[in-house]
Each structure stands twice: as structure tokens, then as C-alpha cells.
Structure 1
């Protein structure tokens, strides 16, 4: 099993993007392994790397590693089935380590036209359902997820039925902060690793209430691990979005807060493989808060996203208000629509918004 070892020099390289952000200009890293990609022309290769020192391996690091804290495999999709548009999520999180902590296995489905929503959340002992098989190999009562960076199979269950799909990633990897490494909350003791396969062709079937329909669309697969502070004290929180835009840009946006420490940024991968790290803000519309009858927590259901370096002003609106997951703790995982301007031009798209704290 491959292990990522990070020394002082590697961390310094990984923080190039953060330093550039502080200077007020975006950090840009071309992707690709051939000279044409470095020149910024499109590459026909599959998963590619950036020219910055990359600290994750998008294929090898899909595999579970018991030495890692807070391992997460997270996929969201926007698909068509039976004449409807749906969003669905499958998320496995092992929090803590093998001796102390817990795991959560979560699935949700949102009808993006009617607002119908269903979910299944399980709290499990830590690392339940994981193995040391290469690639993704997760088996719980509501998720069976196997495969590698070329092809994966997912069977996910909710009370009303099942999702059975094949994932085929293509295009460029999105390396958060340009290298796959960033200090959560801007604090090096919370060193996290994250990358995404943001363009995943998705096909299969959706079965609800005994009716099976063919399904097709696109998914975003996100992989993350690293230490985090306790989230039950209310001191730590974050909002995150994975923006899939009509101009072809894929954007991972983080707004993180721990006491007075903040770490807000966007990582953007463009259709030609160029990656940009720049400042970004997610501003909730407080007047649109929905209060969960289950947890009592309230969440905004509209946001304004600003990415000054891209001249982007985006409005994000959830398709259904009641998209809360409660295991292992309450959090919002909402399928949402995106509209606004980007590079001074109209743009639309889709996203999932994650809100904790």
C-alpha cells in the first residue's frame, strides 16, 4: 500500500498556493504530463497531475489506510431517470482511528424537480466495512462501493429503493490547494489531504417504490483524510461546495472557521487542465434558514458565492430544504442549483453544499 510521506520541504511547496493567495493574486498550476498540457492546450490523457509538487496519488490513495484519521469517500451526482432530474449522495466517513471514534455510512436522493427527498444514515464502529483491497472497497448495510480510478460500481440503498450505477472517471483531477494538501482552518496541526475526480460519467438504474428506471448523468467523487478538532463543541465549522459549471469549470470552495481562525479558498480546474487557487467566499442568506424538526439545527438554503479572481458572482439555491443527514452528527448535504455570472458571462450549473457546525 502506498503511503504519502510529507516532509518540511514538501509542505513548504504545498503552501505555495496559500502564500500566493495572501498576496492577493491567484496561484495557477498547469496540469498534464506532456508538453502540450504545460502550454495550456487540451490534453487527451485521462487523469493528470499538476506541475506543482502533488502530495496525493489519485489512484493509489483511493485505498483505505488504517493509519489515517478521518478517512472520507464522498460522491455526489446529478442525473436523469424516468423523466426526472435527481441528485444523489453516497458518503462513507470513518472518524477518528481504529481504536477510538465511529463511522457513518450515508445515502440520500433528491428529486430536483419536485423537492422529494429521502435518506439513509448509519452510525457504525470505526472502519466498519473497510478492507485493505486496492481501490475503493466499502461494504455496509446501505453502501456497496468497489472499483478503481478507471471504473467503480456503487449500490446504495434508501428505504424506498436502490441506486445501482457504474462510475467511469475521465478528464483532470482536482487537487485541493493545487497540491492535494492544505491545513484545515489554516492550522498546520490539522493537515488534510483532499482531491476530487470531478468528471465521472455515471450510468445504471434507479429503483424507487418498485419502479426501475435507467439513469445517466455526471458525478463528482471527493476523497479526503486528515486530523480534525472535535466538532461537537461548536468551535469548528465549515461550508463547502463542489460547483459544476456550464462553462466546463469545476470548482471546490471551502469556507472554514475554528474560533478566530479562517481558511477560505477555491480550487478550480478548467477544461484545458489548468488549475487555479484563489480566494472565495460563501455568504449565506440568513433569511432563508430552514430548521430541522429532527435535530433543531437551522441551515441557510440560499448562498451567494464570490470568486473575485474569476469575476464570479453566483447564486446557489437548494432543490429541497430538508436535506439534513443526522449520522454521526447533524450536517447539511444539499443538492442545489447554481446561476450567475463567471468571467462577466452568464453561467449555470449544479452543486452539493455541505454545512457543519
Structure 2
């Protein structure tokens, strides 16, 4: 499938590592399911300041397995994505192209092997795929609704799974401003996705909406924290009011809250429900 949308980047070309980027990131978080359980899995690798940081994290619901593994390795000891795409670190692999990707990763007690297939348009953050961030320039696009199949192995038992994955590709040159951020990626079903940025810290946000036909809408939004600690997101131009319940993945640590979300509310005046992901850098 092809969709026509004017951008400042070529998503297929930008799958590969950017030799001039200060930060280069390939981020996957997925909601997987069997008949009895839900598995949330995060696989992420990022080159920054001469090193490669990798994360594999898994959370089973309800009340199941939780594990994570993180590594910091020299760029000389890993393979970062080139063309064709082929990334390898000591705990994960990423390969494929814009239409089909294979990813795998392992903690000390769990592993995943997944195939991701794209059937929907690319989400270009900011509409063009490039936008200023913290005084620098940031490139970012997402494949937010990848159809996912494969296996999850936990404590020696392998499960066949299916689900959906959000892939975020990011690169850029950071500026001198504080990198305080709350980001949300919401999968609201029917080919509708929201990528939301709060870089001020007071809930003032901007979002990019992607529809199934490839239409992008950029608009303002506001996020408020409820007494429960969860969030209410409003976007007047989309007639949207969303309640976002979130909980942390096991790779959260000082300075980073990595979370998974459940979403209910209204969009364009209609009831809607979905799920999503969040990264909060304090």
C-alpha cells in the first residue's frame, strides 16, 4: 500500500542509522495476548554519546511475570541499523524494512521473537517528521499499529501470541534546554492514533493525529493530573476528552518513567477506548 503525504523526510531511508545524529533511537512497545494473559513488551536501542543503550522489558497481566534487562555497550561491539536494516546488541535484534520487521530480545528469565507487519500509513510527528525540540532539531516518525505475531517465552514455557506494536524512530541533535518531556502514544482503534508531546511540564501539549486514510491533524491539547495520579487529556479541536490510566513497566528508573496506558473517553463526540504508551523524563 502507498499513501501520499508531504513530509521533510523519507521514512524508509531513515530506518537506517543517521551518521550525524547525536541521538539515534529505535523504540518498540507492544501489547500482546494469549487466551489467558496480556504481555506488554518493550524493546529499545539507542546510540548516544559514543555508547549504545539497550532495553528489553516484559510485564505480564494479570499478576504475572515481570522482568527487564538493560545494557550499555561500546558502539564498536554492537551493530546498529544500516541498509538493509540489521541491528544487533547483546540482548536484542532488529531487522526488516518499513513493511515488515522482525524483533527479538531477552531478559534473564524471558524472551520474545516477533514479526511486525505494516498495513497502515506512517505517522509523521509534527506532520513533516521534523520539529524543534529543546533548542535542537528532532526527527521522528511512528509505525503505530503494526500487526504482531510470534512467541513469548517465560520461565521456560513458550506461548504463541498476537497483538499490536508501536514503533517509534527518532534521531536528532539535542539543544541546550532542559530535556523535560511527557510523551504519549495512543492507539484508539480503527486506524486512529495520537502522538502527544508536553515539553513544558505543566500539561500544555501538542499532538499529531493520524487517521486511517493517512490524514494528519496537528493541534493543541492539555493534560491534567487527577487525584488518583492518572491523567485527563483534552483536545478541543478534536472534541476529545480522554481518561488515561497508566502503570509503569519494569524498566522505569530514576529520571525515566516508562508506562503503559488504558484509554477511555470521547473523540469527535463518540465513545472511544484504546491503549497506549508513555515515556516521562523528569
Same fold, judged at TM 0.5 (above): yes
Unaligned runs of 5+ in 2: none
CA contact (8 A) 2:81 2:87 kept: no
What is the deviation of 1:89? 1.0
Distance 1:109 1:165, change over 3 A: same
Larger radius of gyration: 1
Could you tell me which residue of structure 1 aligns to residue 193 of structure 2?
Answer: 250
Q: 1:332 aligns with which of 251, 257, 266?
A: 257
Looking at structure 1, the residues matched to 204 and 169 of structure 2 have their Cα atoms a distance apart, in angstroms, of 19
Residue 65 of structure 1 pairs with residue 18 of structure 2: yes
Matching of residue 313 in structure 1 with residue 241 in structure 2: yes
Residue 94 of structure 1 contacts residue 127 of structure 1 at CA under 8 Å; is this kept in 2?
no
TM-score by length of 1: 0.73
Say yes or no: does 1:148 pair with 2:66: no
Asked whether the equivalents of residues 65 and 132 of structure 1 are also in contact (C-alpha less than 8 Å), the reply is no
Deviation at 1:78, TM superposition (A): 1.0
Distance 2:59 2:267 in 1: 27
How far did residue 210 of structure 1 move?
A: 0.7
Does the residue aligned with 2:79 lie in a helix, a strand or coil? Answer: coil
Give the 3 Å change call, closer, same or farther, for CA 282–104 of structure 1 in structure 2.
farther
TM-score, with structure 2 as normaliser: 0.91
Displacement of 1:311 in angstroms is: 0.9
- Checking the alignment, whether the CA contact within 8 Å between 1:247 and 1:347 is kept in structure 2 is no
Q: Distance in 2 between matches of 1:80 and 1:230?
A: 42
Instruction: Tell me what 1:30 maps to.
Output: none
Instruction: Measure the CA separation in 2 of the matches of 1:90 and 1:230.
Output: 28
Secondary structure of the structure 1 residue equivalent to 2:40: strand
Equivalent in 244, 250, 272 of residue 347 of structure 1: 272
Paired residues, number = 282
| Coordinate RMSD, CA, aligned | 2.3
Q: Distance in 1 between matches of 2:175 and 2:252?
A: 20
1:110 & 1:193 partners in 2: Cα distance?
29
Given that residues 324 and 330 in structure 1 are in contact (C-alpha distance below 8 angstroms), is that contact kept between their aligned partners in structure 2? no
Structure (1 or 2) with the greater helix fraction: 1
Structure-to-structure mapping, 1:116-265, within 5 angstroms: 116-126=65-75, 129-131=78-80, 133-185=82-134, 187=135, 190-229=136-175, 235-257=178-200, 264-265=205-206
User: 1-side partners of 2:155 and 2:139: how far apart?
Assistant: 39
Higher strand share: 2
Residues 73 and 173 (structure 1), Cα distance of their counterparts in 2 relative to 1, 3 Å cut? same
